Structure 1
Amino acid sequence: MMNQYEECILNRLLNKYEKSKSFTGANIKNQQFTVRPGELFPEYENHANLDEFANVNEAVEVLKLKGFVKAKIVPGRVIKQITLCVEQLDSIYSFLSRVPKTEINEKLLCLLAEYSTKSEILKRFCEEQELRLESNKQAKYFEGNLGDYADLLEAVSALEKIETETYERDFSMSVFKDSKRFSRLKSKVEGLLYEYGDFPEKNQVLGQYNVVRTPTYVHIKGSITLQLAGLLIDFSKLSNDLAISSRMLADIEEIKVLGERVYTVENLTSFHGMNEQGTVVIYLGGYHNRVRREFIKKMFDQNHGKKYFHFGDIDAGGFYILQHLRNETGVPFNAYKMDIETLEKYKDFTKRTTENDESRLRRLLCTEFKETIEYMLMNHCKLEQEAVDIELFN
């Protein structure tokens, strides 16, 4: 029966082989794959630990007798180097019950080919992973389990089909017949979609696919009326805002903006601070999914003569959200208080940008925000919208 020492030695040697040019067939020279016992078992080189010394030596002797390794031994029975016998690879894989990397890669390529036609995002992702595998690199998000990888791709594919707001557990049950399965894949799904899709922030990805943890609401206040299921709601008569369930947005029949300006706001605190007469203020809950976008489109279609603004953080995420909102709704939103003047006015409240912040900002230098972004890069600053005293602009 194989013990932990034998398993550790063989797996380390196989890992080295599978990462080599010999594995891909690109190496024309005979390549050796070796490891020192001390790399795997630090106590082996501690001469006071006789048990560890004996255990390692015994394991190496067993592997030598099986023809799996060769060993360089110096006086005192000290093993200096263990070398893999590559001519015994098939037997070694069988001994370890380990699936050869070639077989895993073949199955991965089949999975990638199957899902590459499911969506544009999956097409980009799968094509890149195919190239990585051809270069003997590991596919992104693959951690050795083919079943987990298939579930990851299936989750991404299934998200494209969600038309109405759906709870995460319900989504998981419908796709995997397991209400908790998606939660174990969630971070990878978000990472994949954010990297290969077009989303302003990673934590908003699932919401934009209509998948949420709990019920969500759109907060509305100001000079606006809604006709909902035969009921007329006049927000101008209310002393504060009203939150409408996202699931009810599709039931709105008519939207009439009574004021001249409409503001969408990223932050709930800022939403509550905006109380200008004759305006409409909408808090979208941090993201805009299909249902919210349809609501905004309907409002714009029925109220073309109004001016539309978006108020968000003065950082890369804020600018990306504004661009995404414009692109997905077709509404010509103007940036509100997302400029140099605001940065200078509230410079005592700015935060220092990180390397990642500045990398994202540079990708926006070709946009209309160029001057503001150049100022931010020069001064290494960004500003959260909560820092802005809304009353000063009312």
Structure 2
Amino acid sequence: MKRDYRHYVINRLLDNYEKSKHLTGNNMINRRVTLPFNPEKFPDYFIDSIHAEKEFINREMMELEQFNLIEIVWVKSQKNHLIDKIFLNVENVPQAYELVERIPLLDEITILTNMVSQYHGQIQTGWIRRFLEDSLDQLEKKKIPRWLSKDYVQTKLLLQALHGIELQVGESLPERLFSKKYLGNSKVFEKQIRNKMISIYKKYGMSEKLADIYVDQNNEGVLQEIGIVRSVEELCVYGSLVYEWNGTQLDFSSFPFGVTVHSQLMKASRVTDLRAERILIIENKTVFHEYIQSLSRIGNLLEKKIIVVYLGGFPGPDKRFFLRQIQDKFDKNGLQIEVQFWGDIDWGGFRIFLHLQKSVFPQLRPYRMDTATFHQHLEWAETFTSDYQAKLEQLLENTDNSEFHGLIREMLCTGKRLEQEAILL
């Protein structure tokens, strides 16, 4: 089956037309819309052994010229035999669109502008408004924004998802529940909208602090910032902390193995009392439980002076809200509190530390994340790849990580990284 060269040529010419100043009426020097004939665009046309193909293409082009859609420029002394280039007849552009059954770009822009405008008036959330306003500005300049699509179903789904975030008003929903509620299907968001949404938020909504933290991270943390979670956020808390929820005082010190705090409780409750001198935030759940059991063995005096929190990776908005309440309570009482973070001795552990330090606890210090601990448990450390090595080397370029620079150099020398659990062995 032969290729439809008429459609191919007209579509390429229309592509060039839509990129030109003809579309906006600013073509002051009357530059023509051109498609050169060369081996890159028409390889079969220049193969002598398939002469019949060249003749077929010539006939197709001459037919388009008879329809007054194009003008053929032949190679000098090769008329009716070898085409040099083709010009689009811009006076008959509507007929060209009709021939290839293609919607004119200006019509597409009008449709997309109406779709975006419909939602723009319903949105108050800053980053979503910035995205919509930038999209309208680009459409006014006759450009289709990067995240909008000529597939209007996809664009409609994206706009519905953005509107859903607006309606959440700071609340979080599991990803599939969000998708079912606002897009009508539990898997549509994950499969079709998720990556676009993350990219839009990174450009229009993410602060410089968060952008620096989430670089090269998986995107679950970014979704949490938006208000969409893969699963409900939970913290485990141990120590002398009193929480008030719905008029009820919850004294965490009454629970010798700690308390699991649901994300809804984090947002709906407030810290009313703290009787601690130190906060230790732990990345790993197993280490958290082992540590509080060790406190019980040491005795009650030490237990009453510490709050221990299991974090479980990068803290989303709900976890940060909970932790800020603790920091704010000490600040309000004019008290200084020692805050430490204990994580893996690896790239992720360093990044979580920096995230907490920038977003919640500026006085944060590392705990058991030093060269002595690293060498003491080196036999249990794991090797890393060259790609991972490059990520560690990049941390050395950032002065924010300076307290870990010595440790990072030791890791690079040994080619090893150490997980928290190894320290328990």
TM-score of the pair, normalised by structure 2? 0.69
Match of 2:19 in 1: 19
Structure 1 residues 340 and 35: CA distance shift in structure 2, 3 A: farther
Q: 1:81 aligns with which of 73, 85, 95?
A: 85
Match of 1:31 in 2: 32
Q: 1:176 aligns with which of 164, 183, 200?
A: 183
Match of 2:199 in 1: 191
- 1:321 Cα deviation from its structure 2 partner: 2.3
Match of 1:7 in 2: 7
Q: 2:418 aligns with which of 376, 381, 387?
A: 387
Give yes or no for the alignment of 1:292 onto 2:331: no
Q: Give structure 2 stretches of 5+ with no counterpart.
A: 296-302
- 1:165 Cα deviation from its structure 2 partner: 3.7
Instruction: Specify the structure having the higher radius of gyration (Cα).
Output: 2
- 1:172 Cα deviation from its structure 2 partner: 1.3
Match of 1:93 in 2: 97
Partners in 2 of 1:10 and 1:232 — Cα distance?
Answer: 72
Which SS does the other structure have where 1:156 is aligned? helix
- 1:182 Cα deviation from its structure 2 partner: 1.4
- 1:192 Cα deviation from its structure 2 partner: 0.8
Which SS does the other structure have where 1:40 is aligned? coil
CA RMSD of aligned residues (A): 4.7
Match of 2:70 in 1: 69
Give yes or no for the alignment of 1:115 onto 2:123: no
Native 8 Å contact 1:225 1:234 kept in 2:
yes
User: Which one-letter code corresponds to 1:120 in the other structure?
Assistant: G
Per-residue Cα deviation, 1:338-362 (whole angstroms, up to 9, x for no partner): 999899989x98954459x95x998
Structure 1 residues 79 and 26: CA distance shift in structure 2, 3 A: closer
Per-residue Cα deviation, 1:3-51 (whole angstroms, up to 9, x for no partner): 7322221111111111123333154233232232643342232233356
Residue range with higher mean Cα deviation, 47-56 or 371-380: 371-380
Per-residue Cα deviation, 1:314-335 (whole angstroms, up to 9, x for no partner): 6895466225632xxxx65524
The within-5 A match list for 1:21-60 is 21-24=21-24, 25-36=26-37, 38-50=39-51, 52-60=53-61
User: Which one-letter code corresponds to 1:178 in the other structure?
Assistant: N
Aligned residues between the structures: 380
Per-residue Cα deviation, 1:269-328 (whole angstroms, up to 9, x for no partner): 7756756744333233434444434433454566665433445676895466225632xx
Partners in 2 of 1:8 and 1:195 — Cα distance?
Answer: 36
Per-residue Cα deviation, 1:69-105 (whole angstroms, up to 9, x for no partner): 1223436733332221111111111222222222323
User: Which one-letter code corresponds to 2:15 in the other structure?
Assistant: N
Partners in 2 of 1:115 and 1:376 — Cα distance?
Answer: 50
Partners in 2 of 1:154 and 1:299 — Cα distance?
Answer: 37
Match of 1:146 in 2: 152
Partners in 1 of 2:406 and 2:28 — Cα distance?
Answer: 51
Q: 1:325 aligns with which of 359, 366, 371?
A: 359
User: Which one-letter code corresponds to 1:191 in the other structure?
Assistant: S
Which SS does the other structure have where 1:219 is aligned? strand
Partners in 1 of 2:114 and 2:363 — Cα distance?
Answer: 44
Query: Percent identical across equivalent pairs?
Result: 21
TM-score of the pair, normalised by structure 1? 0.73
Which SS does the other structure have where 2:150 is aligned? coil
Give yes or no for the alignment of 1:212 onto 2:217: no
Partners in 2 of 1:137 and 1:270 — Cα distance?
Answer: 53
Q: Give structure 1 stretches of 5+ with no counterpart.
A: none
Structure 1 residues 39 and 221: CA distance shift in structure 2, 3 A: same
- 1:139 Cα deviation from its structure 2 partner: 1.2
